[in-house]
Amino acid sequence: MPQESSHRVVVIVDENSNPFELGCATEVFGLRRPELGRDLYDFRLCSPAPHTAMRDGFFTLTGVAGLDAADTADTLIVPNRPDVQVPRRPAVLDAIRRAHARGARLVGFCSGAFTLAEAGVLDGRRATAHWQWAEEFRTRFPAVRLEPDVLFVDDGDVLTSAGSAAALDLGLHLVRRDHGAEIANSVSRRLVFAAHRDGGQRQFVQRPVPDLRDESLAPLLAWAQEHLDTPLTVTGLAARANISPATLHRRFQAQLGTTPLAWLTGERVTLACRLIELGEQRLDVVARRTGLGTAANLRSVMRRETGLAPSQYRRRFGLRTQAADGLVALPELPNAVNTSHE
């Protein structure tokens, strides 16, 4: 049997909850991980009622734990009901407040930000929600520092994401935060989902699916990921795509919601994290293979992007730590790693 995880993730499912985000939470935190040698989380659902009608009456959820299971959560995912005007049950709000008071991590997917705000745990904190509810959220909860144009916000022990697919982005971010980039990449491969979209990317892009095949950035991104150890510049990427730098910027913003430089930095940091996790001790080698140049620049960029110095990251997520936790050894990486299209 896979080794049990000590970190318990509990999802509160309330009347009219959206099944998509419930499915995202189950996929990311609830599935067994035989390919890793153990499960990453102890996962369970709970509800304040024995029969819970899901959104628009699609189906009724039964057979889950009672609301008292929320009192055992290390990470508590709160209800995300699309009927944001309807007050949440007092018992649900009390369970959230108790979890917050004892130091549990709170997560709100999409309209879950309304639930957290109604519980009073977002006052003075940064948060996001689906863009279509931004004005209503601001009006009802002026004490919350809403960031309406990002995929997710990590404010330490309280995290929120925008609608639908951003729940997967935040879920993978939490796996990355808890277990490192290589484990998060393994989870994303099983999901067949891009391993890393930074929380600061925009929720709404002008054209998520390009109208013309030759305007897609996918071939350029795949090529760049295979050449991270070379001096890549915005001008050089634009030349390879046979477009101007200004057009490249516009396409990045339209298709990815970020800039070319921010995307390159994220890819390089992700590769650096994976190399460190897999045992590369020489920071100058990591810096060279990721295109970050020098060990000093690697330290600076990793601190900025992950909050950890390379040595701290190695202690937390390195192979010895994984082995001690019961994880199987992971394969050696080639010089350049495709981190988004594996």
Identify the burial level of 246 via C-beta atoms within 10 angstroms of its C-beta, where 0-12 means exposed, 13-18 middle and 19 or more buried.
exposed
Strands 8-12 and 51-53: unpaired
**Token pair recorded at residue 327:** 């994880």
Give the CATH class of 8-191.
Answer: alpha beta
| CATH number 3.40.50.11540 given to 207-342 | no
Residue type, 42: D
Q: Assess contact for 254 and 209: CB atoms under 8 A.
A: no
Start-end ranges of CATH 1.10.10.60 in the chain? 207-342
Start-end ranges of CATH 3.40.50.880 in the chain? 8-191
Largest separation between any pair of C-alpha atoms in the chain = 60
Angle at 23 between CA 98 and CA 128, to 5 degrees: 55
- Rounded Cα–Cα distance for residues 10 and 67 (Å): 10
Residue type, 216: S
- Judge if pTM exceeds 0.85: no
- The SS3 assignment for 136 reads helix
How far is CA 70 from each of CA 185, 308, 334, rounded to the nearest angstrom? Answer: 28, 30, 43
Q: Assess contact for 11 and 106: CB atoms under 8 A.
A: no
Per-residue pLDDT of the chain (342 residues; tens, 9 = 90+): 344 558 999 999 999 899 999 999 999 999 888 888 888 999 999 999 999 999 888 899 999 999 999 999 999 999 988 888 899 999 999 999 999 999 999 999 999 999 999 999 999 999 999 888 899 999 999 999 999 888 899 999 999 998 778 899 899 999 999 998 888 888 888 887 665 555 555 444 443 443 434 568 888 999 999 999 999 999 999 999 999 999 999 999 888 888 999 999 999 999 999 999 888 889 999 999 999 999 999 999 999 988 889 999 998 888 654 544 444 444 444 333 333 333
The pLDDT value recorded for residue 204 is: 45
273 φ, ψ (degrees, to nearest 5): -60, -40
